[in-house]
Amino acid sequence: MALYEKGESGNPNGRRKGSRNRLTQGLKDAYLGAFDALGGEQGLIAWGKKNPDLFYGQISKLLPKGIEIKTDQELTINIISNIPEPLPLPAKYAKKIEKGQCKCVPPPAG
């Protein structure tokens, strides 16, 4: 026999709106820890200067898809819509993969 009738809950108020589950919070904490270990904001700035296409491609993924702006002021908006393709694999690594010398991927078939 079930503890509760169908449609009832042991927590009738449910989870608080906006609360995160443990996995989501754990992943966020792990990423923030890695961010700090990689130099934090200054590390991100240095990486962004070396890889502007990748940096702006990543930041564009964080922006909201639709924005509504109401203003009486003149407004200029530049929208980045082209997300760059990933850079090609450097030749020395591609050759290692072709020869089956890379442990990170299985060797090519054939």
pLDDT range class, residue 106, cuts 50, 70, 90: low
Alpha helices in 1-110 (DSSP H): 22-37, 40-50, 52-62, 91-98
pLDDT level of residue 39 (50, 70, 90 thresholds): very high
Each residue of 50-88: pLDDT tens digit? Answer: 998 888 888 878 877 776 777 788 877 777 666 667 777
Indicate if the pLDDT at residue 105 is higher than 60: no
Output the CA–CA distances (angstroms, integers) from residue 45 to 4, 22, 38, 90, 95, in the order listed: 54, 30, 11, 24, 32
Per mean pLDDT, which of 9-18, 34-43, 92-101 is the most reliable? 34-43
Instruction: Please give the Cα distance from 44 to 59 (Å, whole number).
Output: 11
